[in-house]
Amino acid sequence: MGLKEKIEGLRIVLKRPYPTFKLAQQLCAEIKISQDNLRPWLPWANKKYTKEDAFRYLTDWCEKNWNENKGFTYLIYDKESEKILGSIDAMKWDEKNKSCEIGYWLSVNAQGHGYMAEALVALEQECFAAGIHRIVISNDTRNTRSANVAKRAGYHLDGVLRQNRWDDYSQSFVDSNVWAKIRE
């Protein structure tokens, strides 16, 4: 199993990121302007995030997981402007159980326009076409924007994991929603 390197939607394009310093710089810039919105939900989006961190992400996470068929990261681009809008991953790729988890983030400038819903539907269709049977999305229960993306895309709330992880931002244990969609 594997996924295409480029997936097109109506207004967006999902592209496999190849590690370059220029791309790391662009990615870092989007993360920097979005830090206040990302930080409560994504521990890596801290004030010290650098282009070197972005390059390590591109090599140590994106490239490595793709090459090992363990996960598939895409940067989300606006089709017209070719600007990076965010990122979406099909991770925890499990060929035996035909399952994966999708995670995502969107630049603060791109939020509220339906880009993430479009990216999610495009990626899930590709996952199902590649043989995946079950897709999971997990989000902090306080992150209503992320939950709304899953709801609007037709994911079922399988349950809430109570205090399942420590959150450095809030300095407390937090609950996580677990959403799932089964290939029909």
The pLDDT, as a whole number, for residue 44 is 83
pTM of the model: 0.94
Query: Please, what are the domains in the chain?
Result: 6-182 (3.40.630.30)
Neighbours of 180 (CB within 10 A): 17
72-99 tens-digit pLDDT? 999 999 999 999 999 999 999 999 999 9
For all residues of the chain together, what is the average pLDDT? 94
DSSP letters, 85-137, are EEEEEEEEEETTTTEEEEEEEE-GGGTTSSHHHHHHHHHHHHHHHTT--EEEE
Query: Is 41 buried (19+), middle (13-18) or exposed (0-12) by CB count in 10 A?
Result: middle
Q: If you average pLDDT over residues 95-122, what whole number do you get?
A: 96
